[in-house]
């Protein structure tokens, strides 16, 4: 919780790696805090209540998470609750095809 207060107050971006390694009850508690922050950022609210404190909001703040698939080969991962999924925009990453990239660069 204190990390979120720091991010919001100074306008920093926080990236939490392998977020879905947290237990489901922890994810639920954290999702409530993130929801409050996201709502304040979207509404451009100058202050927000977080962990019993009134926190001044810097609108440059951002929260990002990385996940690995829950399933085969990735032990200890849990699925994100739907309310937490709704707070983030999904993107996918893949290994680049270096041969194709080199071919395009050489032909251009």
pLDDT in tens, 35-87: 999 999 999 999 999 888 999 999 999 999 888 776 666 666 777 778 888 88
**46: DSSP letter:** S
Q: How far is CA 24 from CA 39, 51, 76, 80, in A?
A: 22, 20, 11, 8
Asked if 34 and 87 touch (Cβ cutoff 8 Å), the reply is yes
pLDDT in tens, 97-108: 999 999 999 998
Q: For residue 3, what are the contacts with CB-CB under 8 A and spacing of at least 6?
A: 14
pLDDT of residue 17 exceeding 70, the answer is yes
């Amino acid at each position: 919780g204190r990390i979120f207060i720091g991010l919001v107050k100074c306008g920093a971006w926080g990236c939490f790696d392998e977020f879905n390694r947290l237990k489901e009850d922890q994810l639920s508690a954290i999702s409530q805090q993130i929801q409050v922050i996201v709502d304040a950022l979207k509404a451009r609210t100058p202050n927000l209540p977080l962990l019993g404190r009134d926190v001044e909001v810097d609108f440059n703040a951002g929260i990002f998470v990385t996940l690995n698939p829950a399933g085969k080969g990735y032990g200890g991962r849990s699925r994100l609750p739907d309310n937490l999924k709704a707070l983030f925009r999904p993107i996918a990453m893949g290994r680049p095809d270096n041969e194709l990239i080199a071919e395009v660069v050489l032909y251009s």
